[in-house]
DNA sequence: TAAATTAGTAACCATGCGGTTACGTAAATA
DNA sequence: TATTTACGTAACCGCATGGTTACTAATTTA
């Protein structure tokens, strides 16, 4: 894992999105996170490391345990990017098709 | 490119996000899309293919040109997922830190 | 009709990704 | 103190990813 990650890449993996969902509202040690998935604990550990590098989780040491919890604030970047296109699904009139029809009329 | 793609994966690549931005509000042939990036036309063609497979662009044939345009409606899925965490950045009181402090008080 | 333009795709390549097992270490427990 | 538990990480592996160049086909233009 050498690449510089951003939040968009972090949430591209469905397992990591599930982890974020799982750890929203509760702190869990790695072992308990891993028990929710059909993969080895080290695999989950790697996903948690990526989420940590992106600032999407917070960690608190508790004895030999590491308590992970979601910190979804960085998701704001994603939310803001998608929000720019909100009108495309929130408008009653289908904006895209209307625009395309307009282009066709202009024989673009 | 054999994998089944979802929207989250499609927007993980920064070039593809730029293409979506570029093609929002205007239709462009592949050549003109490619001229906006420092990579070959076939590379851009591949990105466009992925975006098409995810339904994030629409294509209209116009002679030997293919006019691409963004269809951002599928981004709603992403917007809805992030919206579940909106309170983490929209609240004045930092919800996460408050929750963590509460946990610590309980000596969890 | 011949040449140029536009675009898709095949073949290839280096690197990244997501998983595994094996191992080391720190902390808790018997 | 010896053992067990929790965790991180190194090493490895197969496949995906994202780029390239070379080629082909379709359409437009000279």
CATH number of the domain encompassing residue B91: 1.10.10.10
**Contacts with B, A 31-90, CB within 8 Å:** 58, 60, 62, 67, 69-73, 75-76, 78-79, 81-86, 88-89
User: Is A44 part of any domain?
Assistant: yes
Nearest alpha carbon to residue B54 among B19, B5, B15: B5
Domain of residue A57 covers 7-105
Query: Is position B1 within any domain?
Result: no
Alpha carbon distances (Å) from A103 to A59, A98, B15, B100: 52, 9, 26, 53
pLDDT for the residue A1:
47
Task: State the total domains in chain B.
Answer: 1
- The predicted structure's pLDDT at residue B100: 53
Q: What is the pLDDT of residue A108?
A: 42
Rounded Cα distance, B78 and B56, in Å: 12
Tokens 């951003």 found at: A6
Residue of B nearest to A11 (CA): B8
Query: Per the domain annotation, does B2 fall within a domain?
Result: no
Does nucleic acid strand C have an atom less than 7 angstroms from the CB of A15?
yes
pLDDT tens string, chain B, 108 residues long: the values are 455 689 999 999 999 999 999 999 999 999 999 999 999 999 999 999 999 999 999 999 999 999 999 999 999 999 999 999 988 877 655 555 565 555 555 534
Give the pLDDT confidence score for residue A107 in this predicted structure: 39
Structure tokens at A13: 């993996």
CA angle B61/B52/B27 to nearest 5° reads 50
b vs e for B42-72, b when ≥16 Cβ sit within 10 Å of the residue's Cβ? eebbebbebbbebebbbbeeeeeebbbbbbb
Can you give the pLDDT of all 108 residues of chain A as single tens digits? 455 689 999 999 999 999 999 999 999 999 999 999 999 999 999 999 999 999 999 999 999 999 999 999 999 999 999 999 988 877 655 555 565 555 555 534
Does residue A2 fall inside a structural domain? no
Q: Rounded to 10 degrees, what is the CA torsion of B68, B70, B73, B79? A: 140
- A1 falls within a domain: no
């Amino acid at each position: 894992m050498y690449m510089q990650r951003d939040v968009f890449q972090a949430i591209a993996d469905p397992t990591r999105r599930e982890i974020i969902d799982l750890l929203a509202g509760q702190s869990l040690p790695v072992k308990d996170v891993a028990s929710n998935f059909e993969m080895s604990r080290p695999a989950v550990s790697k996903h948690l490391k990526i989420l940590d590098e992106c600032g999407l989780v917070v960690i608190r040491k508790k004895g030999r345990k590491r308590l992970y919890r979601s910190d979804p604030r960085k998701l704001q970047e994603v939310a803001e990017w998608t929000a720019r296109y909100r009108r495309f699904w929130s408008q009653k009139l289908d904006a895209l098709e209307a625009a395309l029809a307009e282009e066709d009329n202009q024989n673009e």
